[in-house]
Structure 1
Amino acid sequence: MKAIKLTREDRAVNFIAILLSALLLISTAYPLYYVLINSLNDGADAARGHIYFYPREFSLENYRMVFKQHFLITGLGMSVARTVIGTIAAVLVTALAAYALTKEQLKFRKLYLAMAIITMYFSGGLIPLYFVLHELHLLDHFLVYILPSLFTFFHCLLFMAFFRELPKELFESAHVDGANEWFIFFRIVIPLSMPVVATITLFVGVNYWNDYFVPTFFISKESLQTLPVILIRLLSLTEAQQQIQQYLGNHQSKVTMESLRYATLFVSILPITLLYPMVQRFFVKGMLVGSIKA
């Protein structure tokens, strides 16, 4: 194949595009790298500042101190449990609803779609939601993390768009062979829909992991608090800072409050960051599935 000859204008455009991409990469990746190198540096030494490219005095004491704080470990475990259970449940429920809504013979299908579309533009607000959760006895309960977020219509639309692209002959042949809808959904539809499943899993998982709204307003038990809320308190509340500062002083550690923040922050973002490479090959295909039609 004959190579395409680039003009001077083409080279200039390519150079500008590469330069802008590099600047964007640096501006987005460096803050994360800065947190990492400061969390891996001795806390007392890091207080002197001027750490920009690599740890000046390497130390894992910050992370040891993080994992000695029982409330941080509890918050991390609660975040993991909420994210894993909530993501699996939400993806399954949304996929089931989308599969049903793609069936033209479903009774009241247009009514269900109209009701779901309304939820994309209007909500009852915080106070009505609080009263509903109170009446359902979900306040200060782990299920408040799961049940209210089981279904999102935007994700349902993505599933519906993907399901419509599957060959109808697969469903017809499966019905001829005597397969029921449950068998078709779990043994045919889901295995063929992994790109959109991975995409929705990423969306839902990131939302669950980063969410601090639900635990802030609907959870008062310390044992049910998630890591984002604990991190916010660690960064902002004077009482929490004083307790940790007293703990650090009693143990004669070189860890400072600032270095502990860096380590805690990196621990909180690492799990969800590692999820992206695992689903990257599905992500683009899952986002570009056909046109979204109700």
Structure 2
Amino acid sequence: MHARIRLTAEDKAVNAIVMIVSVLALLATFYPIYYLLIYSLNDPIDAAGGGLYWYPRKFTLENFGYVFKSDQLLHSFLVTVARTLLGTAAGVLFTATAAYALSKERLRFRKAYSIIGLITMYFSGGLIPNYLLYQKLQLLNTFWVYIIPALFSIYNALLFMAFFRQMPAELEESAKVDGAGDFYIFARIILPLSKPVLATVALFVAVNHWNDWFSSAYYVSNQNLWTMPTIIVRMLSDNSIMDNMKNMSPGMRMDPLSTLQAIKYATLIVTILPITIVYPFIQRYFVQGMMVGAIKA
């Protein structure tokens, strides 16, 4: 039997204040997204009348129908999914491998590599040098311009290095006694024990790939390779939607401004929904992995 902790009046007051502040923060964070959802599920002409706060007053899926009728959006969705899956897997594995080497004192020029990496956290070559570099590497207008430049992140490498240094040295020593090499130890021992930091870094990398519109806008002119964020930016243009309103029902064409607003909200929901669905499944690992950032690399 554990002794029950008795809360003083001051403790109860502090707990009440923390609870109130937490609830307010939750509402301030969640409600704007919820409002986008109910507005996008409501008839746009009816929503223009106002008073739409808690649930769709006149339910409809026509706003989302417009979004998914766009062939270009569907194609860009597939490109974004492919980029996110491949880019996340490659980026996490490459960064973890480099970080594992950098975490070892026996690596030659380890400090020099670390300093060079840290410099890139604060200074960038800029748009024009990057463009010229990608041009020389023949990455422009290719799918690999999304993957190769994002293979390594020094911030994520620091998270990996901090985690790897916490592991008992005896694990590697015993494996080496049995004749295991560095790559075998890394793949069969280190990585299986690194699920928390792997999940954390994977989420960071996946969100970056999913939301990135910059690479597609500046380094890719082939529309077949455009990602969903770039297409959505174009779709959110009033003129783009207005030009396609001839394909909508007569009722929606009667109030183009209200329809425009509803379609914008539906498009935003389509964008944020996949990452929102994935996050709860890796939340446990994410919380554990974030604790690694508090440890000095």
Q: Distance in 2 between matches of 1:131 and 1:122?
A: 18
- Aligned partner of 1:228 in structure 2 is 229
Indicate the percent of aligned positions where both proteins have the same amino acid. Answer: 51
Provide Cα deviations, 1:88-109, integer angstroms capped at 9, x if missing partner.
Answer: 1110000000111122222222
Task: Please say if 1:292 is aligned against 2:296.
Answer: yes
What's the TM-score, normalizing by structure 1?
0.93
Which position in structure 2 is the counterpart of 1:261? 264
**1:48-86 deviation per Cα after TM superposition (whole angstroms, max 9, x unaligned):** 232110011112222222211111111211211111111
What is the distance in 2 between the residues matched to 1:240 and 1:61? 17
**Matched AA of 2:289:** G
Question: How far has the Cα of 1:140 moved from its partner?
Answer: 1.3
> By how many angstroms is 1:194 displaced?
0.4
TM-score by length of 2: 0.92
* Secondary structure of the corresponding residue to residue 55 of structure 1: coil
Q: Aligned AA for 1:286?
A: G
In the alignment, is the contact (CA less than 8 A) between 1:76 and 1:268 conserved in 2? Answer: no
Give the 4+ runs in structure 1 shifted more than 6 A: none
Equivalents in 1 of 2:12, 2:104: separation in Å?
A: 51
Question: What amino acid is aligned across from residue 292 of structure 1 in structure 2?
Answer: K
Q: Structure 1 counterpart of 2:217, which letter? A: T
Aligned pair count?
Answer: 290
For residues 100 and 270 of structure 1, do their structure 2 counterparts lie closer, same or farther at Cα, with a shift above 3 Å needed? same
Tell me the residue number matched to 1:44.
Answer: 45
Conserved 8 A contact 1:83-1:208? yes
| Contact 2:63 2:262 (C-alpha < 8 Å) held by counterparts | yes
Pair 72,253 (structure 1): closer, same or farther in 2 beyond 3 Å: farther
Shift of 1:25: 0.2
Residue of structure 2 equivalent to 1:82:
83
Structure-1 separation of matches of 2:45 and 2:76? 26
Segment of structure 1 superposing worse, 92-101 or 272-281: 272-281
Q: C-alpha displacement at 1:3, in angstroms?
A: 2.2
2:256 corresponds to which residue?
A: none
- Unpaired stretches in structure 1, ≥5 consecutive residues: none
Cα separation, 2, equivalents of 1:117 and 1:16: 40
Are 2:281 and 1:278 aligned? yes
Deviation at 1:189, TM superposition (A): 0.6
Q: How does 1:185-196 map to 2 (within 5 A)?
A: 185-196=186-197
Alpha-carbon shift at residue 31 of structure 1 (Å): 0.6
- Give the corresponding residue for 1:56: 57
What is the letter of the counterpart of residue 160 of structure 2? F
| Structure 2 spans left out of the alignment, 5+ residues | 254-258
Q: State the superposition RMSD in angstroms.
A: 1.6
1:1-294 paired onto structure 2 within 5 Å: 1-235=2-236, 237-248=237-248, 251-252=249-250, 254=252, 256-289=259-292, 291-293=295-297
